[in-house]
């Protein structure tokens, strides 16, 4: 599997974001068969739990106590990462994005058939969803201290997440 694209987002006025980069795996899995089941199985096998199937919220929000993986199982979406000033990113079936704790995200538009598989590293399944502008410096501090996952949701303990995020914290 190819190395992911990385997006480093500065702290925003409305969301804390993270010093860790967002990881974007384009076409991580081919869009064939039951992609939703394959994403769930892959995430679970690599230690990501609290799996869900749904769309994406249409408002800026973040999790200050958990990292999050989003796999596009069907359809496509345009999302904004990092709050109101952040970049817009197009996602399509087979793409996977890993958001470090504190990273703002919002669905700007999507196809009617959008289906997202989401999950969290083991031990972070009881996460808090916060709206943009909520919490101030406290949430930024909490998000920066969230324990790193032991495993990349796609490629396991030797994957890019472990290497890239580990270097970012050194």
- Kindly state the tokens that stand for 170: 């050194």
Side-chain half-sphere CA neighbours of 93 within 13 A? 17
**Taking the domains of the chain in order of start, what are their residue ranges?**
5-169
Question: Can you give the pLDDT at residue 150?
Answer: 94
Residue partners of 41: CB distance under 8 A and separation at least 6: none
Inform me whether the pLDDT recorded for 136 exceeds 90: no
Q: What is the pLDDT of residues 7-59, one digit of tens each?
A: 999 998 899 999 999 999 999 998 788 999 999 999 999 999 999 999 999 99
Token look-up 């081919």 returns 30
Residue partners of 90: CB distance under 8 A and separation at least 6: 76, 77, 78
Question: Can you give the pLDDT at residue 169?
Answer: 56
Residue partners of 8: CB distance under 8 A and separation at least 6: 19, 21, 22
Q: What is the pLDDT of residues 65-115, one digit of tens each?
A: 999 999 999 999 999 999 999 999 999 999 999 999 999 999 999 999 999
Percent of the chain predicted with pLDDT > 90 = 85
Under 8 Å between Cβ of 104 and 14: yes
Token look-up 């030797």 returns 158
Report the CATH architecture of 5-169: Sandwich (2.60)
């Amino acid at each position: 599997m190819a190395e992911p694209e990385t997006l480093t987002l500065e702290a925003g006025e409305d969301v804390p974001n993270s010093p860790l980069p967002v990881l974007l795996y384009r076409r991580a899995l081919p869009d064939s068969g039951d992609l939703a089941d394959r994403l769930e199985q892959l995430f679970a096998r690599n230690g990501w739990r609290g799996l869900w199937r749904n769309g994406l919220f249409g408002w800026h929000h973040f999790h200050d106590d958990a990292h999050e993986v989003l796999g596009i199982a069907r359809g496509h979406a345009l999302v904004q990462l990092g709050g109101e000033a952040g970049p817009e990113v197009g996602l399509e079936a087979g793409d996977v994005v890993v958001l470090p704790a504190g990273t703002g995200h919002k669905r700007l538009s999507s196809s009617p058939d959008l289906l997202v598989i989401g999950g969290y590293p083991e031990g972070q399944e009881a996460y808090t969803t916060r709206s943009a502008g909520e919490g101030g410096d406290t949430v930024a501090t909490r998000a920066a201290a969230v324990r790193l996952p032991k495993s990349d949701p796609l490629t396991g303990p030797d994957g890019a997440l472990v290497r890239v995020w580990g270097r970012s914290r050194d």
